[in-house]
Amino acid sequence: MAVGSIISRLFQGRRAQPMQEKYAPAEIERSAQLHWDTTGAARAVEDAGKPKYYCLSMFPYPSGKLHMGHVRNYTIGDVLSRFHAMQGYNVLQPMGWDAFGMPAENAALANNVPPAAWTYSNIDYMRAQLKSLGFAIDWEREFATCTPAYYRWEQWLFTRLYEKGLVYKKLGSVNWDPVDNTVLANEQVIDGRGWRSGALIEKREIPMYYMKITAYAEELLSELDNLPGWPEQVRLMQKNWIGKSTGVRFAFPLADGGDDKLWVFTTRADTVMGVTFVAVAAEHPLATRAALNNRELADFIETCKQGGVAEADIATMEKKGMATGIYVTHPLTGEAIEVWVGNYVLMSYGDGAVMGVPAHDERDFAFALKYRLPIRQVIAVAGEPAFSDETWADWYADKQRGRLIHSGKYDGLGCEAAVDAIAADLTARHLGEKKTQFRLRDWGISRQRYWGCPIPIIHCPTCGDVPVPDEQLPVVLPESVEITGAGSPLAKMPEFYECQCPRCGGDARRETDTMDTFFESSWYFLRYACPDNTAAMVDERVAYWCSGGIDQYIGGIEHAILHLLYSRFFTKLMRDVGLIGDLGEPFANLLTQGMVVAPTFYRDLEGEENRGKKQWINPADVDVVTDERGRPTGATLKADGLPVIIGGSEKMSKSKNNGVDPQALIDRYGADTARLFIMFAAPPDQSLEWSDAGVEGAYRFLRRLWKTTYDHVQAGLVATQAVPDSLSSAQADLRRKLHQTIGKVSDDYGRRKQFNTAIAAVMELLNAYDKSPLDDAAGRALAQETLESIALLLFPIVPHCAQALYAALKPGLDAGRQPFPKVDPAALKQDEIELMVQVNGKLRGAIRVAAEAERASIEAAALACDGAVKFMEGKPLKKLVVVPGRLVNIVV
């Protein structure tokens, strides 16, 4: 006898007890989870005989405990996994830990716990929480990215890419805290100051390793068109991020002779004749050269380095500049053009220099007004008011209607023709050419932090940078370490960095920077296919689970650009290194879930030193006061009964003290209620408003469903199928509703991935069931059919409860192993349908007609109905619109 069969008999024996009258979630959930564990229900085994369904949720950072966003994310994944398993797919739903990252170092600073110990204990706690939610996860594939068994393979890949030139070293800007002598993350820079020291932050250039993602820019862009399963908005965001633009890269020769040239890129070469200045970044070689004997300019360049490196800060700061005294020659007119240093020009974009055309670029216009630089109009649009060099008008940048003026031989040309003509002339003078440029920059992966994957490079005074040879991998991160918040801990550990050069054997120094933690999350989804392989990064099982892409990926919208782009990049890199075949895109279907938000409450703190500061109060400690219609009129603190201020809904966070701990919810109501409410409260891609009252409603529904099923079971199970012909008209209505609901729920789970409407449909069905006469034999059979179907329809969302309900209705059977209910087309037949009647687009009545009624008879019935007669007021008929199955619109 097969093991599965023995277990199922044991299960049957254990389940033979009578159904409990009351819904008891704790007991039901314990028993169902034990059953799934012992039967290996969630184990995923490669099986060429079944279509595979790889359902992946973004793995969590082990921050301590689960938050509502996790519950939401993993419930969506579990619903899709369980639904597809019932549809006959071979499902893989894995889970792991994105375990490297800054919070572990912050915790070490705050609580004096080593990052490794903190991380592993968080993982243990969160794993237990995930298990208590009953997710059908194959736990045998679990891994944490902070273990050498995982990160050794990214070190290995790094050395391969280094040898291929896909990893290289160059200078990059970081936030430097001059007091703590350390590099800060963007989030650690608050209003231009270090979060701990309060020191003014400055930009500093340090050597870093870069991944050549720009070499894949074209492919990453064009492949977006092959992702019909992605939300349009995410594809658009990625497209804009990659930012392909065609333009002209050209040079201004330096006026003081020599062969030196200043290169710029522009998408508006039609305006080159309007250039009145050129601006370079503070780090540009020309700026450095000019500052050598210009004290004032040197000081200005220093001030440009104040503040952080985040693009949002740079884009919103005041635009400032200073002349360098250096002149370049206009490549077409020969005119002398002054070079300025601008704090808004970034060295990391293109050539670190931009041409200034104040008449036709809004930013240049403001800059020229501020520094009284010449403004030369070279584009005019017929019909627009005269050009003014006092105030900006959007038509100055109009590409479609503009014609060139004051541009010599180019006068009269449109934008496109002018770009072509000017590019051709620049090319003829060997001073430029048409070029495609990307906004996307190479990915800097060096981090001056401890809790990350060590970069496997050895710096040798004679051999230079040498990748760590395979036999010396992994470079293990020491787990016993002191975190001080000042400087990189690894750089203070000679036992880590002192080493021998693998090439010459001489004394050398190991790289002490670690990798960006996006590195781990860029390939973890491939490793789930073969987590036990100790001899290779990936193996042939990737081809089984990942061919055609991962079938469903689910995660927060906040990852729409970086994580998803890096993962797409890695899949192509690993293909080109020969590790995997051509999988195409890694994620065939993407669902981006919205955030979980909750109301906020606060009191203003008293005292001069606390001016403007707020004391945030947890929603659990507040009573909301409402008027007789339920409108909130105020709120009071439970502890003292005095008022607090209502602050509106915001993303659950520690800083606003508005987090709701899912554990309290699970402890009180059970996992199924938590899952049901979180899926019912909002569509998955929209933000979700937390509400305790709504949870109560979800719990009430499960209790009611339980009681309804219990009553039916008490009255005796029915083995026979409902016979359509023997049903009364009211019973036929219920059966139609049942099969409409089956169709609706299947479509919601499968195509629409919208679960709130699926739950609402089942609630409607249960309401209809309660109102239907089901006491005769035909009704009893229909009741059995309906309740069995409801248990299976809800199984993906509330699997513990549905498992128990189904077992009570079909003793010995396992809900999760049943096929998903199918629509019986015979049940959907309807003889008569209702059509709405409008007069001039306004609803005025309704008519009932035969389902197959001819247009002529529908028209006659509509014109004859009371509402139509009344509102037509005898006016002549102008037009008659009949929308089949919907409505009739009478236009008079």
Partner RNA sequence: GCCCCGGUGGCGGAAUCGGUAGACGCAGCGGAUUCAAAAUCCGCCGCCGAAAGGUGUGCCAGUUCGAGUCUGGCCCGGGGCACCA
Footprint on residues 305-324 left by RNA (CB under 7 A): 309-312, 315-316
The answer to whether 886 contacts RNA (rule: CB under 7 A) is yes
The answer to whether 654 contacts RNA (rule: CB under 7 A) is no
Touching RNA, residues 240-299 (CB under 7 A): 240-241
The answer to whether 440 contacts RNA (rule: CB under 7 A) is yes
Touching RNA, residues 592-611 (CB under 7 A): 595
Which C-beta is closer to RNA: that of 471 or that of 628? 628
**Residue of 499, 681, 732, 809 that binds RNA (CB under 7 A):** 681
Contact track, RNA, 762-781, x by CB under 7 A: -xx--x--xx----------
The answer to whether 393 contacts RNA (rule: CB under 7 A) is no
Judged by CB under 7 A, which stretch of 44-52, 295-303, 323-331, 554-562 contacts RNA? 554-562
Pairing of the two strands 552-556 and 590-593: parallel
The answer to whether 61 contacts RNA (rule: CB under 7 A) is yes
Q: Can you say how many angstroms the Cα of residue 489 is from the centroid of all Cα atoms in its chain?
A: 32
In angstroms, what is the minimal distance from the CB of 149 to RNA?
19
Burial 461-478 (b: 16+ CB within 10 A, else e): eeeeebbbeeeebbbebe
In contact, 79 and 796? CB cutoff 8 Å: yes
Dist. CA 172–CA 208, nearest whole Å: 6
Dist. CA 303–CA 322, nearest whole Å: 11
Residue identified by tokens 């004032």 is 296
The answer to whether 558 contacts RNA (rule: CB under 7 A) is yes
In angstroms, what is the minimal distance from the CB of 261 to RNA?
25
In contact, 236 and 318? CB cutoff 8 Å: no
Kindly report the length of the chain. 892
In angstroms, what is the minimal distance from the CB of 192 to RNA?
14
The answer to whether 883 contacts RNA (rule: CB under 7 A) is yes
Which structure tokens are listed for 883?
Answer: 């929308």
Which C-beta is closer to RNA: that of 380 or that of 682? 682
**Residue of 305, 319, 614, 651 that binds RNA (CB under 7 A):** 651
Which C-beta is closer to RNA: that of 401 or that of 406? 401
Which C-beta is closer to RNA: that of 543 or that of 646? 646
The answer to whether 689 contacts RNA (rule: CB under 7 A) is yes
The answer to whether 441 contacts RNA (rule: CB under 7 A) is yes
In angstroms, what is the minimal distance from the CB of 312 to RNA?
3
H/E stretch holding 5 reads helix 3-15
The answer to whether 740 contacts RNA (rule: CB under 7 A) is no
**Residue of 84, 160, 193, 744 that binds RNA (CB under 7 A):** 744
How far lies 739's CA from each of 82, 172, 441, 732, 761, in Å? 21, 62, 54, 11, 11
Dist. CA 721–CA 484, nearest whole Å: 72
Pairing of the two strands 202-211 and 443-444: antiparallel
In contact, 892 and 839? CB cutoff 8 Å: yes
Which C-beta is closer to RNA: that of 253 or that of 342? 342
| # binding residues, RNA (CB under 7 A) | 105
Q: Can you say how many angstroms the Cα of residue 225 is from the centroid of all Cα atoms in its chain?
A: 19
| Closest to 575 measured CA to CA, from 219, 278, 266 | 219
Who's near 589: CB < 8 A, 6+ residues apart? 229, 230, 549, 551, 552, 553
The answer to whether 212 contacts RNA (rule: CB under 7 A) is no
**Residue of 561, 620, 646, 869 that binds RNA (CB under 7 A):** 561
The answer to whether 682 contacts RNA (rule: CB under 7 A) is yes
Judged by CB under 7 A, which stretch of 270-278, 378-386, 435-443, 723-731 contacts RNA? 435-443
The answer to whether 646 contacts RNA (rule: CB under 7 A) is no
The answer to whether 192 contacts RNA (rule: CB under 7 A) is no
Dist. CA 840–CA 837, nearest whole Å: 10
Touching RNA, residues 98-117 (CB under 7 A): 98, 100-103
In angstroms, what is the minimal distance from the CB of 503 to RNA?
27
Dist. CA 501–CA 495, nearest whole Å: 15
The answer to whether 517 contacts RNA (rule: CB under 7 A) is yes
In contact, 632 and 624? CB cutoff 8 Å: yes
Which C-beta is closer to RNA: that of 186 or that of 484? 186
Dist. CA 800–CA 671, nearest whole Å: 8
Touching RNA, residues 703-732 (CB under 7 A): 703-704
Judged by CB under 7 A, which stretch of 575-583, 603-611, 657-665, 697-705 contacts RNA? 697-705
In contact, 782 and 790? CB cutoff 8 Å: no
**Cβ atoms within 10 Å, residue 776:** 13
**Residue of 74, 553, 680, 769 that binds RNA (CB under 7 A):** 680
**Residue of 192, 444, 487, 531 that binds RNA (CB under 7 A):** 444
Task: Indicate if the alpha-carbon torsion angle 300, 302, 304, 306 is positive or negative.
Answer: negative
Which C-beta is closer to RNA: that of 174 or that of 804? 174
Dist. CA 365–CA 454, nearest whole Å: 47
How far lies 233's CA from each of 239, 637, 715, in Å? 10, 41, 53
The answer to whether 146 contacts RNA (rule: CB under 7 A) is no
DSSP 328: E
Which C-beta is closer to RNA: that of 250 or that of 519? 519
